[in-house]
């Protein structure tokens, strides 16, 4: 049964966590999350049906002059005759198999899974009592999130979910600017409701402010997800940092953390753009990262393609090596990688996505001992190439070389990952150079041996320039993992 806002507040009043940043600062990062390092994200919903450009199709098809606007009219007809809601009957998901998805994700080496429960378009991918516009009652007529939760737990992964409804306040508003189906009468619970004017730059103080009615509905929807599916982590997209959401995100966080404490499972909220006070959740960097290792644990989320989060027919895929470098770089800097995959509208996962995920899994099975459960070393790495830090500074834009190394520590050893071996038979780890009275090396201890992960012991020697290690690079120049065993 759906809880009212009054009931939510009453529960919080009796809990350990109150709706204040000071109280929410009691938050502790789940240990399993810090150990897991790698998760899978999926964007799948109505926006996938047209398979055109990206997941913002529902907004852009109503903006005159946009490619989606013209494509929609040419393909489906005018927006007053075939609106976004008319994709619902086409979203039948006839090939959707939750267990098959999770086999693929587990084989890729993922330790946790984040399906999107509701995107900006307002279509709920779960059973809901707050709106009839959900996948259980319409379209596939299946509780997608429920099936994915069951399959995730069955596969031994941690189940999490993401909610992007905050932006729905304005996401469908451009359909009011011309003749379209968004002129239909709207009330709470309707698909397009409220379709308010889109603010300039969607900034922190944009008007019109979301109303109490809308904010209450947002809070109740997320609490419904928490109660029904008990996710171990939540993720919110960027508009929750708006001033109007502040009391609501605090109330939601208090409720979620209190429920986790009551049911004895650790919880956490991933947030972007300072949407929450630091120390009350998990900082997330979209398509980016940090230049250096951080004293706090964090996450980067990026997609398997550079130009969309959902499946389209024009995806610009990353390479397996780019994805692996993204993972290694994040882990060396005390972070996790959440990699997004966009299933096709019919519920299948495209062959190219499966190929890339399989390559990541193959590499992790050989090199994962320095990734999973690892910690940052005294330095995160060395080399000429590094991300500058920040949102949308995707590592796929950079060219790495054989001198670009990232370090981790685990099992009493140091792990050095050569990001791009470039076919070389030897690499130099500068952190382990010979002792010099003028320049003491980063490491000044006793070494028992050196191994290449997946190969075994390898020849090495210490020189003034660094530890010279003989390696066996792969044909496709995958990153090479080197285990430095301490005496």
What is the rounded average pLDDT of the residues 33-42?
A: 98
The answer to whether residue 341 is domain-embedded is no
Stretch 143-147: mean pLDDT: 98
What does the pLDDT look like over 298-336, one tens digit per residue? 999 999 999 999 999 999 999 999 999 999 999 999 999
Q: Of 240, 261, 286, which marks where a domain is finished?
A: 286
Residue 344 lies in a domain: no
On whether both 407 and 274 belong to a single domain, the answer is no
Q: Has residue 142 been placed in a domain? A: yes
Name beta bridge partners: 321.
Answer: none
CATH number at residue 18: 3.20.20.80
Confidence at residue 472, expressed as pLDDT on a 0 to 100 scale: 94
Q: Which among 238, 266, 286 is the end of a domain?
A: 286
Alpha-carbon span 117 to 126, nearest angstrom:
7
CA separation for the pair 3, 1 (Å, rounded): 6
Residues 277 and 425 in one domain: no
**Are 140 and 268 within one domain?**
yes
Task: Please name every residue paired with 158 in a beta bridge, in sequence order, or none if there are none.
Answer: 112
- Residue 249: which domain range? 5-286
Q: With respect to residue 114, please indicate whether it lies within any of the assigned structural domains.
A: yes
Write the pLDDT tens digit of every residue in 414-471: 999 999 999 999 999 999 999 877 778 899 899 999 999 999 999 999 999 999 999 9
Q: Determine the average pLDDT of the residues in 192-204.
A: 85
Mean per-residue pLDDT, 270-295 = 96
> What is the per-residue pLDDT for 201?
67
Strand partners, 466: 463
Last-in-domain residue among 267, 286, 305: 286
Least confident of 42-56, 123-137, 432-446: 432-446
What's the pLDDT score for residue 6? 98
| Nearest-angstrom CA–CA distance, 418 and 405 | 5
The count of structural domains within the chain is: 2
Instruction: Say whether both 115 and 261 belong to one domain.
Output: yes
Please report which confidence band the pLDDT of residue 289 belongs to, taking 50, 70 and 90 as the band edges.
Answer: very high
Q: Is the pLDDT reported for residue 474 higher than 90? A: no
Residue 392: per-residue pLDDT: 83
Residues 273 and 407 in one domain: no
**Residue 276 maps to a domain:** yes
Residues 279 and 412 grouped into a single domain? no
**How does the average pLDDT of the chain come out, rounded?**
96
The CATH number linked to 449 is 2.60.40.1180
Is 115 within a domain? yes
pTM (predicted TM-score): 0.97
Say whether pLDDT at 30 is over 80. yes
Confidence of residue 389 (pLDDT cuts 50, 70, 90): confident
Same domain membership, residue 270 and residue 143: yes
**Is residue 79 predicted with pLDDT exceeding 80?**
yes
Predicted pLDDT at 177: 96
Q: 250 with 124, same domain?
A: yes
Answer whether residue 39 is part of any domain: yes
Res 202: pLDDT? 62
> Does any domain span residue 417?
yes
Pairing verdict, β 460-463 and 466-470: antiparallel
């Amino acid at each position: 049964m759906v809880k009212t806002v009054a009931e939510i507040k009453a529960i919080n009043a009796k809990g350990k966590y109150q709706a204040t940043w000071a109280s929410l600062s009691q938050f502790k990062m789940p240990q399993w999350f810090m150990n897991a390092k790698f998760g899978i994200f999926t964007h799948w919903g109505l926006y996938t049906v047209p398979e055109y450009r990206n997941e913002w199709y529902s907004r852009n098809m109503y903006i005159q002059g946009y490619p989606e606007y013209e494509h929609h009219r040419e393909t489906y007809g005018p927006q007053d005759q075939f609106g976004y809601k008319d994709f619902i009957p086409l979203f039948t998901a006839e090939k959707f198999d939750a267990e098959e998805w999770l086999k693929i994700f587990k084989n890729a080496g993922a330790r946790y899974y984040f399906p999107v429960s509701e995107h900006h378009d307002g279509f709920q991918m779960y059973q809901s009592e707050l709106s009839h516009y959900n996948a259980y009652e319409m379209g596939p007529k299946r509780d997608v999130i429920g099936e994915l939760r069951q399959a995730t737990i069955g596969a031994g992964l941690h189940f999490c979910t993401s909610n992007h409804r905050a932006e729905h306040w304005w996401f469908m508003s451009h359909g009011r600017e011309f003749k379209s189906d968004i002129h239909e009468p709207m009330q709470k619970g309707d698909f397009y409701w409220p379709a308010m004017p889109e603010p300039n730059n969607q900034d922190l103080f944009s008007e019109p402010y979301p109303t109490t009615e809308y904010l209450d509905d947002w809070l109740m929807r997320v609490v419904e997800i928490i109660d029904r599916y008990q996710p171990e982590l939540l993720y919110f997209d960027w508009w929750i940092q708006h001033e109007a959401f502040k009391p609501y995100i605090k109330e939601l966080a208090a409720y979620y953390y209190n429920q986790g404490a009551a049911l004895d499972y650790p919880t956490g909220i991933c947030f972007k753009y300072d949407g929450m006070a630091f120390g009350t959740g998990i900082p997330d960097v979209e398509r980016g990262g940090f230049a250096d290792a951080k004293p706090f644990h964090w996450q980067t989320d990026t997609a398997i393609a550079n130009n969309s989060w959902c499946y389209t027919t024009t995806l610009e895929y990353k390479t397996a090596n780019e994805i692996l470098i993204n993972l290694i770089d994040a882990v060396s800097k005390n972070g996790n990688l959440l990699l997004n995959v966009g299933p096709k509208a019919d519920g299948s996962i495209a062959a190219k996505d499966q190929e890339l995920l399989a390559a990541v899994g193959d590499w992790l099975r050989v090199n994962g001992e320095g990734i999973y459960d690892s910690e940052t070393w005294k330095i995160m790495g060395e080399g000429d190439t590094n991300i500058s830090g920040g949102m949308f500074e995707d590592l796929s834009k950079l060219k790495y070389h054989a001198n670009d190394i990232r370090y981790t520590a685990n099992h009493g050893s140091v792990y050095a990952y050569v990001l791009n071996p470039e076919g070389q038979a030897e690499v130099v780890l500068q952190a382990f150079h010979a002792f010099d009275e003028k320049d003491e090396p980063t490491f000044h201890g006793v070494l028992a041996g050196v191994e290449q992960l997946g190969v075994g012991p390898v020849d090495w020697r210490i020189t003034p320039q660094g530890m010279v290690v003989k390696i066996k690079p792969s044909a496709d120049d995958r990153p090479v993992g080197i285990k430095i065993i301490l005496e």
